[in-house]
Amino acid sequence: MHGNERVVFENAANLVRLHTWFVEPFVKASENDALLDTLWLKASEETGISVELSRTAKTYVGFFARP
């Protein structure tokens, strides 16, 4: 990932990390994709960068957000 996608990726990974640390530590597998979609959109809005969540980014956001 490069450029804008990388910026949104890093912000989304941080949001996922914070969510799983402080809000819901045990996210069910069935809820994981919806959580990633929601937090990617939030990160995109917060940064002001509109980047669609690709399958590759979704895999990495979930992986890098783990403590």
Q: Output the pLDDT for position 33.
A: 80
Burial class (CB in 10 A: 0-12, 13-18, 19+), 12: buried
Q: Would you kindly state where each structural domain of the chain is located, as residue ranges? A: 3-64
CB-CB contact of 43 with 8 (8 Å): yes
63 pLDDT higher than 70:
no
- Model's pTM, two decimal places? 0.75
**What SS3 string covers the chain?**
CCHHHHHHHHHHHHHHHHHHHHHCCCCCHHHHHHHHHHHHHHHHHHHCCCCCCCHHHHHHHHHHCCC
58 pLDDT higher than 60:
yes
Q: Compare 65 and 26 and report the one with higher pLDDT.
A: 26
Query: 7-57, pLDDT tens digit by residue?
Result: 988 898 899 899 989 998 888 877 888 888 899 899 999 999 888 877 776
